[in-house]
Homo-oligomer: A and B are copies of this chain.
Amino acid sequence: MVTIQDVAKAAGVSPMTVSHVINEHPHVKTATRQKVLVAISALDYRVNIAARNLRTGRTGTIGLAVPELDRPYYGHLAALITEAAAEHKLHVVVEQTGATRESELRALALSRNRLYDGLILATVGLGAADSDLLRVDHPVVILGERIFDGPVDHIALPNVDGAQTAVTHLIESGCRRIAILDAAAPEAPHPDDAAPGERAAEVNVSTLRHTGYRTALAAAGIAYDPALVTGVERFTMRGGAEAATRLVESGVPFDGVFCVTDTVAMGALRAFATLGIRVPADVKVIGFDDVPESEYLVPSLSSIAPDHDETARTAVRLLVDRIQHGATGRPAREVVSGYRLVARETTAG
């Protein structure tokens, strides 16, 4: 391994001078600079980032931790954040947490974070109950469901409002029996049903969007029918296809479906095609996320489009601010992303 010392020796100067050249400090004679540059390229010298990092405490890199890399939503997010970070001259590296609460906490706590100047953590497994665990001393921005009064900066997706808008759109398109495909296991009670003082069920993407669904129904005077709620094992295409198939096989009539994510909707659309159910003629479908694929599906998928670009930019901006002004200085901020309804063929008249 060729070090800065080797370069110094080769150029006939001190290591310090080499350092000055590398870091483009002004007070180096041009002739000296040239000698050093020649030596650097002759020896193919590269600075040792680990050493520099140890000395300076900065890496110029931020981490992005996402639940799963092979879901369009996160791929898109990663691309946008990479772009936004570049404007701040920061590199982005992405890692996969695995979509469980434990793994997300691990990503957060891992000493590895020392290799990043900051971390953007996209969560699905963390709940409001984990608030305390989010208290870390390095710059972190959480991207995900709503965690009120959390100790870290946090960008919340417009889950409730977005879902309500989606379902309202189905209603306005003429649907009356609207099914929902969302997370399977813990039956999410409607907030209104919770006994006073009782802790609400875990807050996550699914329960929030479920809430929006119920709110929209209620606003339109449509009764909530548990038979129309179908659980999705995982928020994947396969999960969506299986859930949609179960919904159809249950025999319960429905004329609209709100899918918790576009990926789930893609699975559902496929299942409907297989079962001979026409979209949008027989059933209208809407998703959430507006992943790039949605526009190109046949039929193209209506969706709720959070302002991804703005979200990415805000996440990076908040993080950069923490990096520059200290992780624990200012109180935590919460930002809710904007969104818009994108009506496409799956909800066409």
A300 within 8 A of B: yes
A267 within 8 A of B: yes
Question: In the complex, A269 Cα to B298 Cα: how many Å?
Answer: 8
> Which 6 pairs between the two chains have the least Cβ-Cβ distance?
A46-B111, A70-B79, A93-B93, A75-B75, A270-B296, A69-B78
Q: List 5 additional contacts besides A50-B115, A69-B69; criterion CB under 8 Å.
A: A69-B76, A71-B75, A267-B296, A269-B298, A297-B298
Contact of A69 among B82, B95, B270 (CB under 8 A): B82
Residues in A90-117 with C-beta less than 8 Å from chain B: 91-96, 109-112, 114-115
A31 to chain B, nearest CB (A): 26
Q: Given A53-B50, A54-B54, A270-B297, are A93 and B95 also a contact pair (CB < 8 Å)?
A: yes
A202 within 8 A of B: no
Is chain A's binding surface mostly helix, strand, loop or mixed? Answer: helix
Chain A residues in the interface with B (C-beta under 8 A): 46-51, 53-54, 59, 61, 63, 68-72, 74-76, 78-79, 82, 91-96, 109-112, 114-115, 237, 241, 266-267, 269-270, 273, 292-293, 295-298, 300
Give the most central of A47, A72, A75, A110: most B CB within 10 Å: A75
Contact of A50 among B50, B70, B76 (CB under 8 A): B50
Q: Given A47-B111, A112-B91, are A96 and B68 also a contact pair (CB < 8 Å)?
A: no
Question: In the complex, A95 Cα to B94 Cα: how many Å?
Answer: 6
CB contacts (< 8 Å) of A267 on chain B: these are 296
Question: In the complex, A1 Cα to B330 Cα: how many Å?
Answer: 19
User: Could you tell me if B71 and A266 are in contact, using CB atoms closer than 8 angstroms?
Assistant: no
User: Could you tell me if A79 and B72 are in contact, using CB atoms closer than 8 angstroms?
Assistant: no
A308 to chain B, nearest CB (A): 10
Question: In the complex, A59 Cα to B48 Cα: how many Å?
Answer: 13
Which B residue sits closest to A267, measured CB to CB?
Answer: B296
Give the most central of A59, A110, A115: most B CB within 10 Å: A115
CB contacts (< 8 Å) of A47 on chain B: these are 111
CB contacts (< 8 Å) of A270 on chain B: these are 295-298, 300
